[in-house]
Amino acid sequence: MLAIGGARIEIIQSRDNVGLGSAYNEILRRAGRYGGDAVLLVDQDSTLRPQVVRLLADLMVELAAAGQRVAAVGVQPIGARHTKPAFKDVRIFPRPGREGTTRFRAADFVISSGSLVSIAAYHVVGPFRDDFFIDAADIEWCFRAWHRGFSCWVARDARMEHRLGRGSISLPLLGLKLSVQPPNRLYTYVRNQFRMLAMRHVPLRWKAKMVPYIGFQAIVYALTGRRRCYALTAIGRGAWDGLRTMSASAQPPGLPQFGDQAAPEPPGNTAEP
C-alpha cells in the first residue's frame, strides 16, 4: 500500500540479532537523515489500527503547540483479546505532579511498540541503550528524556492490542496478574532493572518499587509452573549480572542460555479466560 502511494520503502536487515535498542537507533538515525520529524515504532506482537497513528501524530503536534518538549507519545496498550492464553494489560505509570485530560496523560514511560518518537528529542536525549538488548530499553530512555527536560505522553483513545509475554498468571486473591515470560526474557528484564538502580535519572520511587516486585515475581515463579528451575535461574543470574555491571564502564555479558527457552507454564487454572 505504501509503495502504491509513492512512499519510499527501505528494508533494513542485520545478519545478527542485535537487539531492539540497536534496531531503534538505526531506524531513528536514518529517519533523521531523510528529514523526518518522528518515527513510529511497532513490534510484531502488536495490532495497530490506522487511525491510531493519526491520533498519536495529532497529539504530538498539540502538545508541542502548548509548549511541551515532547520526547514520545504512546498508545494505551491492552492485552490481546479473544486469544488463549489470556494476556496481561501493560500498566501505564502516570507521571507524578503532571496533570492530564480525558484524552491524554503524562507517563513515566511509554512502551516502545506503538510509540511515536520525536527525532529532535532523540538527538538531545541520546540513543537507546544497545547493551540492554531488549527489555526496559524504552523505560530507561523515557526516564532519561524526563531528566533532560522532555516529556512522555499516552494518548488514552489510541488503544492497541499488545501481547505481553506468552500468557499470564492470575492471582485473584491479590488482584494481580503477572505476564509469563521465557527465561531469556526474564534474565534481560531483571538484569536491566538492577542496572538501572545505579542510574541517577531513574527515580528513586521506581527503584524502591522494582526491587521488591522482582522478589515477588521470583516467589510466584517458584510456586507455579513446570519450568520453575529455569525461571529462577534466569532471575538470579539476571540480578547478579545486573549488580556487577552497574558501573557505567562495565559491559554486560552475552546472553546466557538456560536450557529451556519455553515460557514457564502456569497451572491450568491461573490464566484468565
Question: What mean pLDDT comes out for the span 2-14?
Answer: 71
- The pLDDT assigned to 266 comes to 41
Say how far apart CA 177 and CA 79 lie, in whole Å.
11
> Which residue in 187, 181, 183 sits closest to 133, CA to CA?
187
| Residue 101 contacts residue 138 (beta carbons within 8 Å) | no
* Cell numbers at 85, concatenated: 492464553
Task: Quote the pLDDT of residue 256.
Answer: 74
Residue 159, pLDDT above cutoff 60: yes
Measured between alpha carbons, how far is 73 from 60 in angstroms, rounded to an integer? 6
Rg (CA), the chain: 19
Q: How confident is the model at residue 102 (pLDDT cuts 50, 70, 90)?
A: confident
Phi, then psi, of 38 in degrees rounded to 5: -155, 160
For the record, the C-alpha cell of 164 comes out as 505481553
DSSP 3-state of 95: coil
* Mean per-residue pLDDT, 20-39: 96
Using the predicted structure, report yes or no on whether residue 6 has a pLDDT greater than 70.
no
Q: Does domain 20-162 have CATH number 2.60.40.10?
A: no
Cα 57 to Cα 48: distance, rounded to the nearest angstrom? 14
Q: Is residue 150 over pLDDT 60?
A: yes
Q: Using one digit for the tens of pLDDT, what is the confidence trace for 67-88?
A: 999 999 999 988 665 554 444 4
Instruction: Return the pLDDT at 14.
Output: 86
pLDDT at 253: 62
In the predicted structure, residue 146 carries a pLDDT above the cut 90? yes
Among 108, 93, 98, 100, residue whose Cα is nearest residue 62: 100
Give the Cα separation of 270 and 170 in Å (integer): 5
| DSSP class of 264 | P
Cα–Cα distance, 210 to 194 (Å, whole number): 9
pLDDT tops 70 at residue 273: no
pLDDT of residue 243: 93
Is the pLDDT assigned to residue 1 strictly greater than 90?
Answer: no
Q: Is the CB of residue 162 less than 8 Å from the CB of residue 81?
A: no
pLDDT at 258: 73
Q: For residues 66 and 69, give the distance between their C-alpha atoms in angstroms, rounded to a whole number.
A: 9
The model's pTM is 0.85
Cβ partners under 8 Å of residue 241, min gap 6: 187, 191, 194, 252, 253
Q: Give the DSSP per-residue string, 198-245.
A: G-TTS-HHHHHHHHHHHHHHHHHHHHSSS-HHHHHHHHHHHHHHHHHT
The residue with cell 528513586 is 204
Residues 77, 89: contact at Cβ < 8 Å? yes
Task: Name the strand (E) or helix (H) holding 71.
Answer: strand 70-79
Q: Which of 15, 185, 45 is nearest to 111 (CA)?
A: 45
Domain ranges for the chain: 20-162, 168-244
